[in-house]
A and B are shown apart, each in its own frame.
Chain A
């Protein structure tokens, strides 16, 4: 399929491609998986690509993304210099790095690493061959293939991605970093699938980056399933810094068993159209999930965060805090949905979405929704949209701080409420740095991806340096 023709992506094209290449797509499958693909393509055919007529897509119009032509690549070429693409580091942060190129796992050495403590990480395709039983228990079990067209499409087509397994009682000694770089000479239409399994009482910090390598348009449909076993704990960071021509549909399905603990951070700095479907299901009591988001959009960028939390069991706690700054012609959507089921007593849930509009052409749609079916709950939500606090602006200026600096200081402080929640210090410093650059318009999508540095980068001297004092 190399050098595939660029064409308009339609439902018919995709179902046709599937019919023509089903054997190749399913080459690595265990039998149940092939059946799931068949089912999924059928479901995708019924659903079709979403349009703004659907409530869930009302404020995100994909027509512009679909107006571009893309090549659908069923098998990747691996002739890039892996060493050149992945030389990432965060100063002072020692991470285990996994690379993905155009959604496919790329290995520096081996496709699947098995560490001494039992942790397995590497290519999902490889893991399907080697550990079909382990994969079979989880893969496709949490993602909503039935209701979500993109997930159905992904289930039908996806062949590879990242697999991480942390066995029971194992605490990953260092953070794991997944770097997914989109890099091709063609416009790509991509499907990739990740599976992350945390055993009972295990622990993992995961930094998941989506970056572009150049200005080539791309359309990625990424589905990630994450299973947290009982008492497992996951610190999850999603960093998005794609070029303005890229469309990313990222669906992450979290399944949380009893007493599991999740902290997820969505840091969206760039991208043409970013859609984050974040779906969390508590599958046992005493779970705790916190989801934080910060998005800084400008030009004609669009971000849509859809957060669904299903409180299916008692005594769970969930919290959402999403904050955005929208500049120029950008637009933002927040759609939060907390469902408290009948038996989920003693539920504690809050949602908060705050937006700042910097221009007359930026816009925001916010819909924090609570759906509650029992009385023993404490739920709240709030949504604020406005401008920077004018009283604070005046106060800063009265102290002699110029308007631009004052605005920068306040924007930074505004973002800091979310960034300060990042628990890993070096990562937080790095992200603070990036946010500062982004707010000053200095963070461009360039040859280097966000965390990809040719030389350990000199921290930029800022007029306002929050971190060093």
Chain B
């Protein structure tokens, strides 16, 4: 894998948001706006069993009673939910039997994004589920995985072929009543990935979903569900891009993870939705609910995220540590530039005994952006001998941005120890000078230093993602030095 810093810097100095192109694909929409008919339309189009329609309708009716959350340190312009297409899918034949039937434009789109869906060009060791405008277009490696009993397919397929599993786990971690956007998602989600790792199986490849918003005026609502049965292990990656458009687009996904006894799930995200332009026009509203439950003893869920995109990010990948000795981890790098806003962090709920959590968050703000870390660590009465360590650092580039740290620490158990540390500072003048004296321009030097600063988190990423993430960090900060 290439990680030559010079090459990264080279790209930094040239590139802009390079995933901003639009592909001309024939698209099928649900009528604009949201009402019960929209929900029924989606469920019917997808030929879902009755329990799904019921789930969606309950969610929709509950959503109607809810108010937009306003507690985040975000300035969210009003969203007209009647001006959004809640369902958009590349028009297709009934089922793709082979890649030949997939729209060549669509294949080209993923090629351009560096994701090959063709078997011979598949990323080595990575099984990919490609989702475009809410619809899974192709899942690679499925047959290979089937040999291990691993189910990795689109959520739509899972609803058709594994309804019992979906029924058992969907909404079990993030109930449809959870929050405004999760309820909305539960009502209208179109697709996403589903993954089940059976007892004792260590998934031999990285599983990956690649999300792409293409159509205009659409909301993307995908739903991912990962279940790791006793003793299972899986590493899961998620990547996202969207075209450059002047209007804002809504993305409200839900990810649920269930880890049974002795199971371990590693979830990595590189979020690079279109962030809007330098003046803050356009960009994705990324309002996502991600949560995992360590259900059995000795289970582990680890979240790693690199957040560089989106105009507004509202996202708190969390762990419910229910099983004794279970472990939750959250590693995050969040970069905001120009007019981007991010309010992101995690929740660690310690319910079981001897549970352990680690939070490492690195925020980097530049331009006129605002970047907030918001994290809750809660040790309940029964969570004896639990431990949490949090380290949340913020780096500010320039005097027009903001960096905020909101830790919430609640301890109700005397034998547990919670430690939180945070620092906020600007980039070191000495480091900058050192790099510049060696001939780098300020922008390259910043890219380099920021990558070093975020290393603790980046090293948690699977190899395939680490390089991309490094590049992204540098690119995102472009234009941050005046």
Contact = CB atoms under 8 A, between A and B. Distances in A.
A and B in contact, CB less than 8 Å:
yes
A233 interface: no
B409 interface: yes
A371 B373 CA distance: 10
Given A369-B405, A371-B404, A386-B416, A376 B426 contact: yes
Contacts of B404: 369-372
B396 A374 contact: yes
Contacts of A375: 396-399, 401, 426-427
B410 A372 contact: no
Choose among A55, A342, A358 the residue with the greatest number of B CB atoms under 10 Å from its CB: A342
Contact of B409 (A366, A372, A377, A379): A366
A383 B418 contact: yes
B14 interface: no
B108 interface: no
Contacts of A365: 408-410
Interface in A313-368: 342, 345, 355, 357-360, 362-368
Dominant SS among interface residues on chain A = strand
Dominant SS among interface residues on chain B = strand
Interface in B383-434: 394, 396-427
A381 B422 contact: yes
Nearest to A374: B399
B71 interface: yes
A387 B398 CA distance: 41
Contacts, number: 113
B381 interface: yes
Q: What's the interface size class on A, roughly?
A: 20 to 34
Nearest to B413: A360
A345 B425 contact: no
Nearest to B423: A380
Nearest to B398: A375
Given A367-B408, A370-B405, A377 B420 contact: no
B370 to A, nearest CB: 8
Contacts of A383: 407, 409, 418-420
Given A376-B399, A387-B417, A370 B424 contact: yes
Nearest to B390: A383
A342 B397 CA distance: 13
B464 to A, nearest CB: 33
A380 B415 CA distance: 26
A369 B404 CA distance: 7
Choose among A355, A377, A384, A385 the residue with the greatest number of B CB atoms under 10 Å from its CB: A385
B425 A382 contact: no
A373 interface: yes
Nearest to B404: A371
Nearest to B417: A386
A362 B419 contact: no
Contacts of A380: 421-424
A378 interface: yes
A394 to B, nearest CB: 16
Given A370-B405, A376-B399, A364 B425 contact: no
Contacts of A374: 396, 399-400
B402 A386 contact: no
B425 A55 contact: no
A372 B419 contact: no
Interface string B181-199: 0000000000000000000
B407 A55 contact: no
Given A55-B71, A364-B410, A379 B424 contact: yes
A55 to B, nearest CB: 7
A379 B425 contact: yes
Given A360-B381, A375-B397, A382-B420, A367 B425 contact: no
10 contacts: A364-B410, A368-B405, A368-B420, A370-B405, A372-B396, A373-B401, A375-B427, A380-B424, A383-B407, A384-B418
Given A367-B407, A373-B402, A375-B427, 20 more contacts: A360-B414, A363-B412, A366-B409, A366-B420, A367-B406, A370-B394, A370-B422, A370-B424, A374-B396, A374-B399, A375-B397, A378-B425, A380-B422, A383-B407, A383-B420, A384-B419, A385-B417, A385-B418, A387-B414, A387-B417
Top 7 A-B residue pairs of the complex, sorted by shortest distance between their CB atoms = A375-B396, A386-B417, A375-B426, A357-B414, A366-B409, A379-B424, A363-B412
